[in-house]
Amino acid sequence: MSLASRLTRTLATLLGRDQPASVAPIRPVRLPDVGPFAPGEHPEARALAPFCVGRGIDVGCGQEKVTPGCIGVDLLGRGEIGKYGVVAGRASVADIQASGDDLPMFADGELDFVVARHNLEHYVDVVRTLQEWRRVLRAGGALAVVVPDERAGDTVFLDPTHKHCFTPESLERLVRTVGGFDDLRTGVVIPGWSFLLSARRSAAGSR
């Protein structure tokens, strides 16, 4: 069996993804040797927690919100069991069942923060998603997202519902292009696995 075939079978086993034998990542991502962690102690949760001040949402919260005070938003309703990636076999703790790119339950400028962990890469239209997160944030409100780091390998192969891949540079360019955010910063969270981008909503009325 070729190396590509072995890699494909290994990834399919780990991630529950059916792939043709000819399809394999050119740059396989090594799964990080981290955990298990107590609730709230995962490095990605710790990186996002300082932004969770006031009233805000954890988009794609899955089986554990970044902090207990976050409003959890997820496609899976509370108690539903995930099928893919890190949420496979685990129950959602969402407070609101909704897609993170369509949040009509929140008014313009209603929230102090939006955080998302391994969520942005799942949307077909990431521009619309960022525009919606900008809409619900007050002026000065915090946006903070953790995503897989494409510099580590072909991250689309990590989950069958991944639709985009990001590096710190590409995600910062995207957020700047969408507009309406200031004070953009990026930094590694788990080396060889994930990074964080944070920003602040620009003054009301700016785009």
- Name the residue ranges covered by the structural domains of the chain: 42-201
Report the pLDDT value the prediction gives residue 204, as an integer from 0 to 100: 65
200 and 143 Cβ atoms separated by less than 8 Å: yes
Q: Which residue, among 139, 149, 83, has the nearest Cα to 118 in the 3D structure?
A: 149
Q: Is the pLDDT at 26 greater than 50, yes or no? A: yes
Confidence of residue 194 (pLDDT cuts 50, 70, 90): very high
Q: Which amino acid is at 82?
A: G
Q: Which residue has the higher pLDDT, 5 or 42?
A: 42
pTM for this predicted structure: 0.86
Q: Two tokens at 145?
A: 């997202």
- Phi, psi for 57 (deg, rounded to 5): -120, 145
Half-sphere exposure (CA, 13 Å, Cβ side) for 107?
2
- CA distances (Å), origin 83, targets 56, 86, 88, 89, 180: 26, 9, 4, 6, 35
Q: Is the pLDDT at 15 greater than 50, yes or no? A: no
pLDDT mean over 100-111? 98
197 and 148 Cβ atoms separated by less than 8 Å: no
Report the pLDDT value the prediction gives residue 1, as an integer from 0 to 100: 42
Q: Which residue has the higher pLDDT, 95 or 2?
A: 95
pLDDT mean over 110-114? 98
Superfamily classification of domain 42-201: Vaccinia Virus protein VP39 (3.40.50.150)
Planar angle of CA 43, 44, 49, nearest 5 degrees: 100
